[in-house]
Amino acid sequence: MTISKFWQLEIKSFFRAPQWEVAVIAKIFIALFGIYLFVTIMAIGVGAYYIIEKVFPDELTTSLINQGIFFAFLIEFITRYFFQQSPSTQVQSWILLPIKKRIIINNLLLRSLINLFNFTPWLLYFPIAVVRVIEGTPWTTAFIWFAHLLCITLILNYLIFFINKSHRFLISTFVLILLGAGLEYHTDFSFYRNFALALEWLEQNPISLLLSCGTLVLIYRLAYHYLKARFYLDMGLAKKSEKVLQLGFAFLGGYGMLGAFLKNDLRLLLRNARPRQILLLTFFFLFYGFLFFTMDMYKTNAVMLVFASMFITGGFSLSYGQQVPSWDSEYYGLLMTQNLTYREYLESKWWLMASSVIITLILSSFYLILGWKFFLIVTAGAIYNLGIGSFINLYSGAFHRVPMKLNVKAKAFSNTQAFNVTQLLFTIPKLGLPVLVFLIADFFIGGYAGWFALIIIGSMGILTKNLVLNHIAKIYSSGKYKTIEAFSKN
Amino acid sequence: MILIENLTKKYEDKEVLNIPKLSIKKGEKFGLVGNNGAGKTTLFNLILDLVKPNSGQVLNNDIALNKSEAWKKHTAAFIDESFLIGYLTPEEYLYFIGQLRGVNESQVDSWLEQFQVFFNDEVLGQKKYIRNLSKGNQKKVGLVSTFLGNPDCVVLDEPFANLDPSSQIRLKDIIKKQIENHNTTFLISSHDLNHVTDVCERIVLLEKGLPIKDLTTDSDTFGQLEAYFKA
């Protein structure tokens, strides 16, 4: 059994997965997106040096870049914590086969290198190093500088193995960051400045490469032994025992069937890895507006503002709604044999999405500091999301028959589960319709008419809710057997 | 209670089930046996309207499944773990099912007392999600949930598999008591000929999708079935 055998199995698991054709198309789109991202990051890498030089002509460019890299590592570390998957769950079936543990573990550790995070040094730091050489830095110095950064990235990659899924670690990191920020603010001590100084010292002393590479080798060895010691079903390979997250949703008890379903959906969101990612995403969407409302380039572009108004309050509705039956795919058979109708089922989903819109709208009141006009934009988007967006999302969900493993995190850039061509096509009305409505009203009346048009058609949607839900329920109902069959391939 | 007429199911031109006529009376204890691939689960899925027949129909209490969903009110089933909600605790799950069948939480609590021995202190009050329970305990939750609200018709696929011997015996007692007290119609499939002849008064033997034997259980039934499976 060699490493290449593992890869052959990997390829088989891809082509023999249900709906692998869809997965291929999804991979192509993801690859295109990846190339786009690649080019953008490269451009940032190349441009960064000159931009910084131009914006801060008085300061040392390299020093500023080094300071920026400190924050880049901080962000990378936190994102890794959330998105880098522990690979140990995939090896359970190997453990009994006559393959040396050494090979399995090394394969695991090497495979973890194929990860978007580990390409960032090549995309971001390598171009900067090249530009530095062009600008007169000796190439040996630039090379050592880059080698250090590469080592740090890989050290982070293996560090994640030790802290995977430890909430205690996450909390202590946040406390440390807060303390650090306090230190930065109140004293002369500065982490990022010292980090930059350290990097400058390191690149001047070639011998220091031994230190970085040594640390990398050491952490690889440690990760190896860490995994080897836990290579038993009841240890590292075991699913972590979970504590029951008990939240009182007693107030929902008074709403009968609807309350029972909402209660379940809230538990679904909080107790499973996949939905928790959606919640995190919703939180990020909330701040999306700052990107659009503060940049001159976007502030004056009405279409961009419509997008922003859709995303700020619609993040949850978009990402949850389009996968509505999939969330319940693990126990779809149960729901289909219980005493409940699709109408009741969809109604509870709609209320969940509606609540998310209202909660995010309340939270987004901080946009008032930018001026009441921006809050009007957010409110208009919210009402549109309530009355029209939520229904389109539920409607598109009817065609999303992909089983979902609730408690397995979606991997960044390999998430073909949530991807599907129909969903891609649905993005056109999802984003195009509000823009169209806005532009028509804006063209014929002008002023704030575009925003009020969104409010009006959103309100109309809310008023005709029952009619629309009945119609969507019919579509779900007609696809019932297809959906059950697809979900049974979970 | 259940009336099946000219029911066929094909998967890619291969007929997996063909039942010209089958009638199950109210309160009947109906057993289904047959080797793997004989069509037992397919038949149950058709009775629960989870798959679409290629022809024929199923009537549950005179309600055609393809016309109305009213049969769901008096029918309960446990086919496999896809009938459980993994991220709920057993209590939460039973309260949820209770709510769907019009039984409130305190009623569920007092009703659950009769299953204390069956649960063997490993299911309730464990502060564990169902997905973290052992296979056997997961199954117990699913089985017990079907009796909640005393439905007229209960469908159980392989209820004895995955249970330890004590639990298998206790489950038989629970089923018998349920039949006695509520005149429940039971549809049970099983590979365990002993249990199925013990619980069911009528046993249908499926072979490659066809019902080839329809036996009323008596002292000979076990021997007859054993003879068939030996051959």
Residues A217 and A69 in one domain: yes
Residues A32 and A72 in one domain: yes
Which region, left, alpha or beta, applies to residue A54 given φ > 0 means left and ψ of -120 to 50 means alpha?
alpha
Question: Least CB-CB distance to A333: which of B76, B79, B92?
Answer: B79
For residue A77, the SS3 value is helix
CB contact under 8 A, B82 and A260: no
For residue B49, the SS3 value is coil
Nearest Cα of chain A lies from the Cα of B76 at a distance, in angstroms, of 7
Cα–Cα distance between B173 and A334 in angstroms, integer? 25
Residues A291 and A424 in one domain: yes
Among A367-376, B85-94, B194-203, the range scoring the smallest mean pLDDT is A367-376
Mean pLDDT along residues B73-91: 91
Mean pLDDT along residues B159-173: 92
Residues A134 and A14 in one domain: yes
- Maximal C-alpha separation, chain A: 75
Residues A219 and A254 in one domain: no
Question: Least CB-CB distance to A334: which of B51, B82, B127?
Answer: B82
* Last residue in a domain, options A194, A229, A264: A229
Q: What is the pLDDT of residue A413?
A: 46
Question: Least CB-CB distance to B84: which of A243, A331, A488?
Answer: A331
Residues A103 and A223 in one domain: yes
Which residue carries 């999405």 as its tokens? A353
Residues of chain B contacting A, Cβ within 8 Å: 48-52, 69, 72-73, 75-77, 79-80, 82-89, 92, 96-97, 99-101, 127-129, 131-132
Q: What is the pLDDT of residue A234?
A: 57
A67 to chain B, any CB pair closer than 8 A? The answer is no
Cβ atoms of B21 and B4 within 8 Å: the answer is yes
How would residue B30 be classed by pLDDT, with cut points 50, 70 and 90? very high
Cβ atoms of A332 and A325 within 8 Å: the answer is yes
Cβ atoms of A360 and B121 within 8 Å: the answer is no
Which residue carries 């073909």 as its tokens? A416
The mean pLDDT of chain B is 90
Q: What is the pLDDT of residue A132?
A: 86
Any residues with CB less than 8 A from the CB of A230 and at least 6 apart, and which? A88, A236, A237
Q: What is the pLDDT of residue A35?
A: 81
For A218, the token pair is 């050491």
For residue A157, the SS3 value is helix
Q: Taking 90 as the threshold, does the pLDDT of residue B31 lie above it?
A: yes
Task: Kindly state whether residue A245 falls inside one of the protein's structural domains.
Answer: no
For A427, the token pair is 């993005």
Q: What is the pLDDT of residue A80?
A: 81
Task: Kindly state whether residue A153 falls inside one of the protein's structural domains.
Answer: yes
Q: State which H helix or E strand residue B17 sits in.
A: strand B14-24
pTM of the model: 0.74
Task: Kindly state whether residue A244 falls inside one of the protein's structural domains.
Answer: no
Please name the amino acid found at residue B49: D
Task: Kindly state whether residue A243 falls inside one of the protein's structural domains.
Answer: no
Q: What is the pLDDT of residue A252?
A: 66
Residues A283 and A192 in one domain: no
CB contact under 8 A, B83 and A333: yes
Residues A164 and A261 in one domain: no
Mean pLDDT along residues B125-135: 89
Nearest Cα of chain A lies from the Cα of B73 at a distance, in angstroms, of 5
- Across-strand partners of B206? B211
Q: What is the pLDDT of residue B8?
A: 92
Residues A168 and A62 in one domain: yes
Residues A275 and A172 in one domain: no
Q: What is the pLDDT of residue A119?
A: 82
Residues A136 and A271 in one domain: no
Q: Which residues of chain A have pLDDT under 50?
A: 412-414
Which residue carries 């500091």 as its tokens? A369
Among A103-117, B85-99, B122-136, the range scoring the smallest mean pLDDT is A103-117
Task: Kindly state whether residue A236 falls inside one of the protein's structural domains.
Answer: no
CB contact under 8 A, A337 and B84: no
Please name the amino acid found at residue B193: L
Task: Kindly state whether residue A124 falls inside one of the protein's structural domains.
Answer: yes
Task: Kindly state whether residue A237 falls inside one of the protein's structural domains.
Answer: no
Query: Domain limits at A23?
Result: 3-229
Q: How does DSSP assign A110-121, residue by residue?
A: HHTT-SHHHHHI
**Chain segment B178-189, per-residue pLDDT in tens:** 888 888 999 999
Q: Taking 50 as the threshold, does the pLDDT of residue B222 lie above it?
A: yes
Q: What is the pLDDT of residue A124?
A: 82
Which residue carries 């972590």 as its tokens? A240
Q: Residue B224 burial (CB < 10 Å; 0-12/13-18/19+)?
A: middle
Q: What is the pLDDT of residue B110?
A: 92
Task: Kindly state whether residue A239 falls inside one of the protein's structural domains.
Answer: no
If one counts every other C-beta atom within 10 angstroms of the C-beta of residue B195, the result is 19
Residues A15 and A150 in one domain: yes
How would residue B126 be classed by pLDDT, with cut points 50, 70 and 90? confident
Counting the structural domains of chain A, the total is 2
* Cα dihedral A490/A422/A9/A216 (nearest 10): -100
Q: Quick one: CA dihedral B118, B124, B129, B132, positive or negative? A: negative
Q: What is the pLDDT of residue A147?
A: 92
Cα–Cα distance between A321 and A278 in angstroms, integer? 11
**Chain segment B50-71, per-residue pLDDT in tens:** 999 999 999 998 888 888 888 9
Q: Residue A168 burial (CB < 10 Å; 0-12/13-18/19+)?
A: exposed
